[in-house]
Each structure stands twice: as C-alpha cells, then as structure tokens.
Structure 1
C-alpha cells in the first residue's frame, strides 16, 4: 500500500500469519485489548505513535473495533470517523450539529408521515371495526419500536455516518450495501422526494387559492414542486446547522397541526355532535386473516422514518446517549398519536365515510374544522416537507459514506471547504430528481418499488445479530434483548410477503429495478472496469472540485 508523502509518524508493523483460535498476541498497545480471536489475521496495519489507549474512551475503542473489516488484501481498515489526524494536513469533516432536540425533530418529523392521513380508510375497512383498527395501530407501532431499538444498539456501538449502508457494509457484506446505494439513487431519496414535493405543492397551492376557487394546472404544480425541491437542496448545500433548525421548526408546526385536529374532535364530543364511540367499539365485522395482514401492511409504513437518524450518527453530539433516547421515546409517542388521530376521525365521521375512498382528512376538515380547514391542508404540506428534509439528509449521507469506502465515485465523499456541507451528494440527488417530475403516476410507481422498503431494515436486524457474534467484547452503551432482532426480522419478512401478495406485479417491477445493481457491483466495484470510465470520472471530479470548492478530508490516516 502506498503511503502519503510527508507522513512520518505512521509505521508498518510486522506480518500476521495464521493463528489457532485462541487469544491473539498483543502486537500493539493501542489495539491489544480489542483484538478478537480469529483464524486468519490481517497482513499489516497502521500504528499511530500519538495513540494512547489510556486516553481513548470506551465508545471510541468500540467504534474502532466494530468498524475493523478486512478487505481483499487482508488489511485492517480503521473507521473514518475515528482515524487520527495526520500532522500538517487539515481536517475536513462534517460538524456535530445534532443535539438531543434535533434528534427528536429528525425522528418525530419522519414518523407519522402524510401517508397516515390517507391510510386510515384502508386500515379501518380491512379490520372491520374501530377496536381491531386501533389494535393494528398499536401493534404496528410496537414492531417499529422493536426495530428502532435494534438500530439504536448497533448505531450507538459504531457511531459512524451512513446509516443502513455503513451498518450493512461493516457487518455483513459489500454487495447488499451497494444495493442500498442503488435503491437510494433509484427511489429511496430521489423518487420519494419528488412525490413529496408534488404532494406539498398540491396542498400548499390549494390553501392559497381556495378562497378564489381556483386550481393550478398540473404543469404549474410541477413547477412549484421543482422550485421547492431546489430550495431544500440549496439549504442542504449552504448549512447543515440550518437544516437541523428547519427540521425543529417543521416538527413543532406539524405537532401543533395534529393538536388542533385532535382538539377539533374533542370539541365535537363535548358539544354532543360526535358519533357514539362505545357502539363503534361493539360493532365488529367478520374479516379474514388476510385482511388483518393487509391492514398491518398499510399501517406499518406510517411509522417508518426513525432509521433516518442513524444516517447522521457521525454528526450527533453524544451519540451513545442522544440516539437511543430520541428513537425510543419517539417510537413510543408515534403510535399514541396515531391512535388519537384514528379516534378523532371515528368520532366525527360515520362508518361509511371511514371506509370510503375519499381521504379522511378532507372529510374531517369540512365537517369539524370550519374556518380552520386550512390547518388540515397545512398539516399535509408540513408532513411532506419534514419527510423530504430528513430523506435528503439520509440520501446525502449514504452517498458520502459509500464514496469513503470506495463503493461509489470519490466525488460524493467531498465536502465544501468552507461550509462543510455535502454539496456533491446533494447536487447529484437533485440532478436525478428533477427529470422525475415529468413522470406521470409517480405515486403508483413508488408504491410498487416500496415492496422492498422492509429489506434494508431486515438486513440491519441481521447485522445486529452478526455484530454480537463477531465482536462479543465490543463496548455497547445501549443493548436490547436478544429476541428483538429475531422478532423484527420475522416482522419484515411478513410485511414483504404480504406486499408481494397485494401487488403481484411489484415482484417483477422491483426485480427489474434492483437486478442491475449486481452486474454494476461486479464490474465497477470488484473489477474496477472499464478504466476509460474511471479516468473520465477522475477528470470530471477534478473539474467539479475547482468549480464547487469541495475537497476530501486530507487529515485522515
């Protein structure tokens, strides 16, 4: 391996051969306490003279050990977030701007997305009554709580930026990690952000123009969506700190709107105009077991989004405390709010209206809110903005982490030299997103591609099990019961199977969308071919560096 010129305090130590599975020899005072027994040891590693094991915190040692992953040359790879600074070279890394309030805003702003206002009808009709519907909301929230606990454990132990990509890459295999990059580029961030932008523009413009009885043409709605997408991406390029502050503002506004909606239902009950909920609980229609599974498939995605906090783990202050607390509390709050919302709709709307195809939020607003009807429309717009903002956070960090591990173009691993923002990754996602505004029926397409939405969470749950088995001595500041990963894996499998049964065509469409990732991984990552493409990308990267003022973190060893 070629060493960088001028680096004098880094030396190569020894060669490690095959050892039996017993306690490994101490070859470095800085890593001796973390070396695990294994049959094949790496050929060499770097030892930094300035490293002092007595001054290294347990969380830092755990991060170093958990991220150690042999590559094809049997080299030990030290984690980028824990590497030592080389003398004379500047550090260029994302600032830690996410405190506990920001963590709560990211999670609470992502869960209870706008889809809850459109899926209440489906959940209620599939369950056959109010009582079973509320039970489905509770159980779906409980399963997401279990999944969030699994994410919190492994993220608190590693503490690296990159979310699902970096957790899968470090623990399992590069191939499924590369699939995560592909999904991010294809649908995870790009297509989802476009769908949310269209939803925002539709409801926001309706608030503005409802007094005049006007509706914007479709192409003008797309123009508004494009402007809104450009503004959000521009903010991500300008300041991560302001992105975090915006998320707090949007989350507060979102819960204020939810509180107004629930208060309107309470007023309906006090006045005496509400539906008799006791009779609604007693009336339960007979349903098949397939309907119950379909109700779970409709309700569970409403609570997804808590995993987006793990993508910014390297930018979180006190990651071992803030991530477990915010994810645990938020995933407890979300099913409570969902149950209160469903009860509010059931108290105002009749059984026939709850099972109709018209979104319940529209019917509820016209009947119970009067002059406050724009609040309901504002809630949809704010929820769309919250989900879009956190989705872009997750997408840019995925590309950034992938480039740092040589799994994607190095251009994505660069930061703005002054603002320390993910400008290359954000501009790439925006460039892919904009043409998608021209696609009609985009919502149906993303619903079909969403058949694989439970695949990455399932792999992370598997990674929790593998991480415990491979690194049993790693310090884990937050640890969940051993049964949690197995429960969540089973839940994800059931959700995926039910989705395929509901949408048989989704299997073919998803496979067509995912399968290109396999040959691309083999050719671009493993074989590193064709060389002409890599040279062209290198020349383009040099040009874009000068144009955008972006650079690598030169201070990493």
Structure 2
C-alpha cells in the first residue's frame, strides 16, 4: 500500500473499531438510500417523464447511474482503505501533485460537505420524518412549519445521542430500521400486484402515453428528482476504516445494496400505479398515504408509521457517515483538531457528531424542504464528478497502485460525463441566482484554506477551548495513544 495511506491510518489502543460487517454495510447503503425520496420524488419524476412507462425507465436509469458511481467508489475505497469518501480520495490523488494547491479539491469538498451537504441531508430527512408524523393530526390543514422544525430538531438530537453512545447500537438500529422499510416496500408491492391481479390495470397499461409531448428539459429535471431518491450510495465509503475486510465487503455491499434498492423503487412505483393515476400522483404531496387509503382501508395508518421509520433509518445512516467526514477532515488538518477526537470509553467520534448536528440545526431554520433538496443535488454532483475524475487520474499517475477491485474504465467516464450534465442542466433549464451563490460559497473556502490550513495559523484560544472540551466530553486524539 502507498505510504500516503499508511501515514494516515490511525493506530494505537484508542481508535474507531471495526464494528461494521457485510450485513450492516448493506443495511447502511440500502437504509440510507431508501429514506423520504421514494415517498416524495415519484411526483417529480412522473411530472417530467410524462408517462407511466417512461417514469419507470427513468427510475431504472437513475439506479444504473448510482450503481456506476458506487462501483467507481468501490475501486477507490478498496485501493485507499480510509474513511471520509471523497475527502480521502481527493487528498490521495491530488495532494502529492502540489504542496500548495494539491489539497484544495479535498478542502473545498470538506468546506461544502461539512457545512452544507451532510447537515442538509440530515435536516431534510428529519424534517420529512416530522412532516409525515404530525400531518395526520392536522387533517386537511397544513401542519405548522415551526412545529415541524422543532420536532425535527428533537429527532436530530435523538439520532445524535444514539450515535454518540455506541457504534454497535447505531448499526443495530440501522439494521432494524432497514428491515422495517423493506417490509413497507413489500406491503406496497404485494398490495399493488394484488390490485392488478384483480383487474386494476387501467393506469399501468397507459405505457408511454404522454411522453411524446415531454420536453427534453423536463426529462432532465425528472432524472434529477429521481437521483435524489438514490443519493446515499456513497455513505459506506465514509466509514471504510470501521468496515470489516473492506477490500472484500465494500464492493460486495455496494454491488448488492444498490441493485436491491433499484428493484424496490421499481416495484413501489408499479404498486402506486395499480390504484393511482398519473394525474393524482402529480398533485399528491404524500403518494404513499394516498395509496394506503385506497388499498389498506382502515389499516392505512401503517403507511405514515413506515415512512417515519424509513426516514429515521436514513437520518441515522447519514449522521453515522457524516461524523466520519468531519473526523477525517480534521485529522488531515482541514478542520479544528478537536473534531478528530473520539470518546475515550465509547470510541465514538462524539465531537464531529455533535458538530454535524448543530450545523444541521442551522440549515433547518431558514429553508423549506423543496429548497434544501434542490440545493443539495446541485452541489453533490460537482464533487461526485470530481471524485470520478480522481479515479481516472490515479489510473495514469499510479498504475501500480494495488487495486483489489478494479472497475471497467468506461464506468467512471460515464459518471464524470453524467455529473457534468447534472451540474449544467439545472442552470440551463431553470437559471437561478442560487446556483451562483453556491459556487461563490464553495470558492469562499479558499479565504480560510490559505491562512488556517496551508500556513497553519491558529489562535491561542483554540488550544484552551480544546482542553476544555476534552474535560467536558471525555475525548482525546487517537494519535496521543500510540502503542
């Protein structure tokens, strides 16, 4: 293995433990991807697709692109067995090229990922959870926005507390919640096929009717909405150091989890179309609830319960992975050093988990769910493409790097081209000043990179704050406990 990797591996008695096995890895992939997306996005996908059949084709294509991205990440993760996903891969690829500018791609990802991407995902899922939980109490009226946000914060604290207390507890919770959401998908699938078997085929038999009138720009937006439901396919790469036998289990978990999720999404949408017309679906804010009322009757109440559990599982998986990003970024000097510390007894990345939760609070306050989803998708694909490009660069600069798993070169090329399209498409089809603000915010990180990362300037008070936090939270740096 390359020396760069060895130097960054934490060692000593106190470090993150390998508590994530193959089954838990699959649960993290599936459980994170299946969150609120399949219960929110069908409307956006169908509206752009124009027809029942084309919407199913788009769901399948989104799954294929997610699988291609995951296979590219599987090569990177098996060759660079570090937690942190994009951060670690960008650092490994570009840092050796130039001492000054080499770490910049990874730092910009940290800057946007730690302060925007990951906390936004966490906030979106907890807000979705709260919406489905309290909306039934409001009947036909819209639930109060402030109540939803307060409840979302309560669930964010709950998920953070579990992750801070025990890695094993967090992974067990993830396993059980993933099982519950697969049961929910099974209910919709079986119910839908039963309805079609009893003659309810009017809507599903419409085929491609309506697609011929769809504009290419609308199809692009539909594809964008579908990909939101698949996001999270890279979360296992954030916890590689805690994965048992990562060179084997990482590719296996990704290769099994993403096709399983794709099949689930296709079956769920077929189940929807057994009783819901495309006109109804486009107008619905809660497709799963409408389906439950039409098929389950007095048992329709179970659908909001399943959706809440699904969102809770996805939120747990997101925070579990996000805490590792902050830890690894701090370990490489891109964030405050205290964020790389772990609890001396629980061996959990407590400071980074609390930090991600607090930033999630701030992301939740000003925005609504739709704004957060659109903002997240645009920024995420900038770095997915950049990471796919890093794989191509490594094939050229480090041809002798040990690669336990090697993906066909055409796959990362397709992911790179798709990411370019997905970044440009929303700007062309629906230009908004927000996209410019995103780019400005991303590059504003350079104002912090040069003084605090490259020149390593630090305020003396930071040391005092770190010592105070160590005493309060019982945390320490793994590097201070070498054998």
Fold in common (TM above 0.5)? yes
Partner residue, 2:119: 190
Q: What's the offset of the Cα at 1:387?
A: 2.0
Q: What's the offset of the Cα at 1:246?
A: 0.7
Contact 1:449 1:509 in 2 (8 A): no
Deviation string, structure 1 residues 129-160 (Cα, Å, up to 9, x no partner): 22222211111211111111000011011111
What is the alpha-carbon distance in structure 2 between the residues aligned to residue 442 and residue 133 of structure 1? Answer: 23
What is the alpha-carbon distance in structure 1 between the residues aligned to residue 285 and residue 108 of structure 2? Answer: 37
Question: Which structure: greater helix fraction?
Answer: 2
SS at match of 2:283: coil
Q: What's the offset of the Cα at 1:411?
A: 0.3
Structure 1 or 2, whichever has the larger Rg, is 1
> 116, 131, 150: which one pairs with 2:53?
131
What is the alpha-carbon distance in structure 2 between the residues aligned to residue 328 and residue 287 of structure 1? Answer: 33
Partner residue, 1:158: 80
Partner residue, 1:108: 30
Partner residue, 1:416: 343
Q: What's the offset of the Cα at 1:268?
A: 1.4
483-492 vs 518-527, greater mean Cα deviation:
518-527
Partner residue, 2:98: none
> 449, 456, 462: which one pairs with 1:537?
462
> 361, 365, 372: which one pairs with 1:438?
365
Partner residue, 1:312: 239
Deviation string, structure 1 residues 276-335 (Cα, Å, up to 9, x no partner): 533435665432222222221221222121100000000000101111011011121222
Q: How does 1:186-335 map to 2 (within 5 A)?
A: 186-206=115-135, 209=137, 217-275=144-202, 277-281=204-208, 284-335=211-262
Contact 1:454 1:492 in 2 (8 A): yes
Q: Please state if 1:96 is matched with 2:21.
A: no
Partner residue, 1:527: 455
Q: Please state if 1:498 is matched with 2:420.
A: no
SS at match of 1:306: coil
Partner residue, 2:7: 79
Contact 1:254 1:382 in 2 (8 A): yes
219-228 vs 513-522, greater mean Cα deviation:
219-228
**1:356–1:434 CA distance, 2 compared to 1 (3 A):** closer
381-390 vs 247-256, greater mean Cα deviation:
381-390
Q: What's the offset of the Cα at 1:443?
A: 3.9
Partner residue, 2:383: 456
Q: Please state if 1:391 is matched with 2:318.
A: yes
Q: What's the offset of the Cα at 1:406?
A: 1.4
Contact 1:412 1:425 in 2 (8 A): yes
Partner residue, 1:118: 40
Deviation string, structure 1 residues 506-554 (Cα, Å, up to 9, x no partner): 322212432321111112111233x4x2x11111101111111111112
Q: What's the offset of the Cα at 1:366?
A: 1.9
What is the alpha-carbon distance in structure 1 between the residues aligned to residue 367 and residue 210 of structure 2? Answer: 41
SS at match of 1:453: helix
What is the alpha-carbon distance in structure 2 between the residues aligned to residue 106 and residue 398 of structure 1? Answer: 16
Q: Please state if 1:179 is matched with 2:108.
A: yes
What is the alpha-carbon distance in structure 2 between the residues aligned to residue 179 and residue 246 of structure 1? Answer: 32
CA RMSD of aligned residues (A): 2.2
Partner residue, 2:99: none
Contact 1:258 1:379 in 2 (8 A): no
Contact 2:111 2:442 in 1 (8 A): yes
What is the alpha-carbon distance in structure 2 between the residues aligned to residue 131 and residue 117 of structure 1? Answer: 18
> Looking at both structures, which has the greater relative contact order when contacts are Cα pairs under 8 Å and sequence separation is at least 6?
2
213-222 vs 451-460, greater mean Cα deviation:
213-222
TM-score (norm 1): 0.80
Contact 2:46 2:55 in 1 (8 A): yes
Deviation string, structure 1 residues 401-458 (Cα, Å, up to 9, x no partner): 1111112111011111111110111121222233444325354145234311111211
What is the alpha-carbon distance in structure 2 between the residues aligned to residue 378 and residue 362 of structure 1? Answer: 10
Structure 1: where are the runs of 5+ without partners? 1-61, 69-77
Deviation string, structure 1 residues 313-367 (Cα, Å, up to 9, x no partner): 0000010111101101112122222221221112211232133354422322222
> 281, 286, 300: which one pairs with 1:373?
300
The count of aligned residue pairs is: 474
Q: What's the offset of the Cα at 1:374?
A: 2.2
> 124, 141, 160: which one pairs with 2:63?
141
Partner residue, 1:515: 443
Q: What's the offset of the Cα at 1:215?
A: 7.9
TM-score (norm 2): 0.92
Deviation string, structure 1 residues 257-292 (Cα, Å, up to 9, x no partner): 111111221221233244253343566543222222
**1:461–1:277 CA distance, 2 compared to 1 (3 A):** same
**1:472–1:512 CA distance, 2 compared to 1 (3 A):** closer
**1:326–1:545 CA distance, 2 compared to 1 (3 A):** same
